Amino acid sequence: MSSSNRRAISVLVVSTLAFTVCFMVWMMFGVIGIPLKKQLGLSATQFGLLTATPVLTGSLVRVPLGIWTDRFGGRIVLFITMLACVVPIWLMAYATEYWHFLVLGLFVGLAGGSFSVGTPYVARWFPKNQQGFAMGVFGAGNSGAAVNKFVAPVIVVALGWTMVPQVYAAVMLGTALLFWFGSAHDPAHLVPPSKGGFAAQLKALKDPRVLKYCQYYSIVFGGYVGLSLWMVQYYVGEFGLDLRVAALLAACFSLPGGVLRAIGGWLSDKHGAHKVTWWVMWVSWICLFLLSYPQTDFTIQTLNGPQTFHIGLNVYTFTALMFILGIAWAFGKASVFKYISNDYPQNIGAISGIVGLAGGMGGFILPILFGYLLDLTGVRSSAFMLLYGVVWVSLIWMYLTEVRTRDVLGGEPQGAVAGSRS
């Protein structure tokens, strides 16, 4: 193996580890929010806002971080981003009021911006026909959501929730140092400043393809983040499970939704971004349709008198559907970024930042909407009804702009062609 290949693999490994830790921290409220909800007496909407606050900052910083990665290199940008999170994470243990957690959550949320740094940083170390797989491996750091569900409940039960941010701060600092010494910088990967600076790079927002990829990512990533934050309390409320069992079952969604992203990248390299994304949306549509149905009792009049029937998912069927949905979204997250690497090879940082922003904003808005719908209707499965509607929008948009165009022209949509040639 050549030295350049060894360096590329080293960059991929330490970057993926760093992103896993960042994502674990980013999802912290998904577990410690459960005791905080009881301690602070929060409504479902307030709980949704609490869990979503870090996602807001992590989303908004993705565009500038992606652009800075193009300009200055991913090594220095990711290292500084991780260091900037350490103190706010530590201070979380000393917060006592609701607004304290909201403010500190905004600073902790910087960890979520690491994705738009690592994606272009990692991709440029590999040839084009391997970029989908490389970005998929890096994106598997989404499994930090599952790591959080394994680690945080144990700490909460044994030592109390205040130890979680203290442990996470130490882990973030150690990982930042490990990343710095295991990564590398290549000046050839930098994008020269263009005329007009940031504004010139952000002109890509006028491209309808970018808006379409934002819509796709808002469900496969935004939905993943939203449900990762929401599922522990859903299991506790819907099925009456304790925190540790609820977190373990919720990880059945979060874990495949993260680690299998690499396979999604490989499939996108082989079969094209369009084909993978198209099937991801249909599998999501079926799963969300079944998950949307609330627990229902109904009575009908028969010849032998009234008969009552129950329709609803038990915990095993529910978890199996969530597992399938997690796999689908893992593939979808990778296929969307394969679209980007195909269509914007010279501007991956800025475009991935924009699309990542859209996905992150989905992850911010969805938990709040989940809480609002729960407070409004009292139906927990209303969260899946909302996601079902979002998937419908993506399917219709994809059909009109890719499937029907292919049928009319007798060819393949752009993403599929680019994927097959890479």
Per-residue pLDDT of the chain in tens (422 residues, 90 and over written 9): 677 778 888 999 999 999 999 999 988 998 888 899 888 898 888 988 998 899 888 888 877 887 788 888 889 999 999 999 999 999 999 998 999 999 999 999 999 888 888 888 888 888 877 777 788 788 888 888 888 888 989 998 888 899 999 999 999 999 999 999 988 887 777 776 654 455 655 666 677 888 888 889 989 988 988 898 888 889 988 888 888 898 889 888 888 876 787 788 788 888 888 889 999 999 999 999 999 988 888 889 888 888 888 888 899 999 999 999 999 998 998 888 888 878 777 777 667 778 877 888 888 889 889 989 999 998 999 999 999 999 998 889 888 887 776 655 555 554 444 443 33
Taking a C-beta distance cutoff of 8 angstroms, is the pair 319, 360 a contact?
no
Location of structure tokens 């490990």: 178
Location of structure tokens 């007798």: 410
pLDDT of residue 422: 33
pLDDT of residue 19: 93
Q: Tally Cβ neighbours within 10 Å of residue 4.
A: 11
**pLDDT tens column, 272-310:** 888 899 999 999 999 999 999 888 888 898 888 888 888
d(CA 56, CA 209): 24
Residue 368 neighbours by CB under 8 Å, 6+ apart: 45, 48, 49, 52
d(CA 276, CA 265): 9
Taking a C-beta distance cutoff of 8 angstroms, is the pair 358, 78 a contact?
no
Q: Tell me the torsion sign for CA atoms 299, 300, 301, 307.
A: negative
Taking a C-beta distance cutoff of 8 angstroms, is the pair 111, 81 a contact?
yes
d(CA 82, CA 194): 28
Phi/psi at 127 (5° precision): -65, 160
Domains and their CATH numbers in the chain: 3-184+204-298+308-421 (1.20.1250.20)
Phi/psi at 305 (5° precision): 105, -175
